[in-house]
Amino acid sequence: MSVFLCDADSCRGETLLTVLRRLGFFIDSGCAACGRCGRCRVEAAPLCAPDRFESVLACAAVIDRDLIVRVPDPPRAGAASDESRPAVECLVPPRRGGRFAAAVDLGTTTLAAALIDIDTGEVLARAGCRNPQRRLGADLLSRLQAAGTPGGLFLLRRTLLDAVGSLLAGLAAQLPPNAAIERVAAAGNSVMSLIFHGLDPSPMGHLPFEPPLYEFPTLTAGQLRWPLPLETAVMTLPILSRFVGGDITAGLLFLRQKGGLDSSEPILLMDLGTNGEIILAHNGRFLAASTAAGPVFEGGHIRCGSMAVPGAVDRVDFAARPPFHTIGDASPVGLCGSGVFDIVAELLRVGVLLPSGRFISPSADLPLPSSARLEMIDGQRTFFLGDSPGRPGAVFVTQGDIRQFQLAIGAMKAGVEILLRRAGLEVDDLAHLYVAGALGAHLSCSSARRVGLFPGALGDERVSYLGNSSLKGAALAARSPELGTLASGLRRATETVDLAGHPEFKARFVRAMRF
């Protein structure tokens, strides 16, 4: 617990949150200081009555008198908390005399980096951590709001740069003596890329949603204060459009390297992240769209949700015993993205969930696990696969969870329909579907088809999972900087379809929410 005196003469009219951050306290405010999340709560008392402490929201408390403020266990700005501390995995010992580069994926939820052998292209080590910016804004909209507050952009950027610098330091520690990372390539969505360069993304939260820049200058490690040789070049892949970022540019580079863009037949690329992005490629033309899928695909906004960590339920099969599997066979801690897909698909298969997304009361003749039951929790129907609410090991979905999932699926489906219609194509015309994002490592094709995300006409043989294509594409650019020119060409060949302003999107979205 830290205690300090807040002098009203120097900060009258400011919020406590603004003052605390200026003093270096890294205060959690996932709602971007809108007073909704309650994470910035501190204790304050008037200097004239030092024993009358009250719990207040720092973002809402406006300073009008001298205060004594108590802040619980504040980590300093830019410092990594335990869950944001980088985890480094060495895959192959780097060879002596080799040349090395690094790739970085600037993810909204997770930051990832890889150490690359420039000559062979081999991935030698990986590093990753939770993005500590979530304390300033849990999602992109919140970060846009945070960037528009006094000092918000500086704090967002410094937090990001410090976290990425820690990842790169962990990778550099794997190198042999006298070896160094020669260059770095980074890729991220539009908002993350702008923050990375210190450019204010907050205007993107208002009409006409235009970013200040699409292609970015090369920086150096010295400018970013990274623990690398000062002149190490740092390139950022260009964003394709307002809400289709450099992570998709990287995905297209990776797809091209795999030969996925060689055919003239139409292919679809889906990035199943917080900001669901879709690319339709046909005859050298790219149609792009972005949907606000939200964090559901990563286990967010789900009552029993979890990231893909040991213990997260990644597979659900009512016919199996036990009816679910956890990552690492650890005790269950919640449902990650693929587990959410599976449990919804299974509920639809047995008839407990209607195509409208509503639960029905399960009857005795339904093929459900013996531990399964439907209960009313907090005024809404909740389906339990095991254990009771509030107890460790409970695996369940609520009616509200199903609605969140429907919103994400509906947005993606409607986006695909509009892109196909724009190109004069039908679903049956698609030659292949490529799925990007960490979710693809565990996602079941049959579950994705049952809930309607994957078109039913596409068999398993026409679906490929790319994994973290943002990181893989950045790795290609790190090895071969000339790919930056190709990336710029991809941007110029891309036409963006604004779904929010599309006259058909709302009607298609409502229809697409049905399973």
Structural contact between residues 131 and 78, judged by C-beta atoms closer than 8 angstroms: no
Helix (H, G, I), strand (E, B) or coil at 146: helix
**What's the pLDDT tens digit per position in 413-448?**
999 999 999 999 999 999 999 999 878 767 999 999
Mean pLDDT computed over every residue of the chain? 88
- What percent of the chain clears pLDDT 70, i.e. is strictly above it? 94
Examine the pLDDT at 1 and tell me if it is beyond 80. no
**What's the pLDDT tens digit per position in 355-377?**
999 999 877 788 899 888 888 88
pLDDT band at 512 (very low <50, low <70, confident <90, very high): very high
Q: Which of 112-116, 205-209, 297-301 has the highest mean pLDDT?
A: 112-116
pLDDT band at 513 (very low <50, low <70, confident <90, very high): very high
Mean pLDDT of 438-461: 88
Whole-angstrom Cα distance, residue 217 to residue 215?
A: 7
pLDDT band at 406 (very low <50, low <70, confident <90, very high): very high
Mean pLDDT of 169-192: 96
Whole-angstrom Cα distance, residue 462 to residue 413?
A: 18
Report the first-to-last Cα separation within the chain, whole angstroms.
Answer: 50
**What's the pLDDT tens digit per position in 128-145?**
998 998 888 777 878 888
Mean pLDDT of 311-323: 93
> Higher-confidence residue: 488 or 23?
488
**Given this model, what pLDDT does residue 32 score?**
64
**What's the pLDDT tens digit per position in 264-281?**
899 999 998 777 899 999
Whole-angstrom Cα distance, residue 134 to residue 471?
A: 20
- What percent of the chain clears pLDDT 90, i.e. is strictly above it? 55
pLDDT band at 30 (very low <50, low <70, confident <90, very high): low
Q: Which domains does the chain have, with CATH numbers?
A: 2-71 (no CATH), 82-236 (3.30.420.480), 259-294+408-444+459-512 (3.30.420), 296-403 (no CATH)
Mean pLDDT of 388-402: 80
Sign of CA dihedral 136, 442, 438, 87: positive
Q: Which of 25-29, 172-176, 426-430 has the highest mean pLDDT?
A: 172-176
Angle at 194 between CA 129 and CA 124, to 5 degrees: 40
> Higher-confidence residue: 224 or 295?
224
**Given this model, what pLDDT does residue 76 score?**
40
Q: How many CA atoms lie within 13 A of 20 on its CB side?
A: 34
**Given this model, what pLDDT does residue 466 score?**
93
Question: What stretches of 355-487 adopt beta strand conformation (E)?
Answer: 373-377, 380-386, 395-398, 432-436, 463-467
Percent helix, percent strand, percent coil in the chain, to nearest 5:
30, 25, 45
**What's the pLDDT tens digit per position in 378-393?**
889 999 987 655 566 6
**Given this model, what pLDDT does residue 246 score?**
94
**What's the pLDDT tens digit per position in 72-81?**
754 443 333 4
pLDDT band at 212 (very low <50, low <70, confident <90, very high): confident
Threshold 0.85, pTM exceeds: no
The phi and psi torsions of 389 (rounded to 5 degrees) equal: -60, 140
Whole-angstrom Cα distance, residue 203 to residue 194?
A: 11
**Given this model, what pLDDT does residue 270 score?**
94
Residue 277: other Cβ atoms inside 10 A: 27
Mean pLDDT of 189-204: 93
Alpha-helical (H) ranges within 60-151 are 140-147
The phi and psi torsions of 304 (rounded to 5 degrees) equal: -105, 25
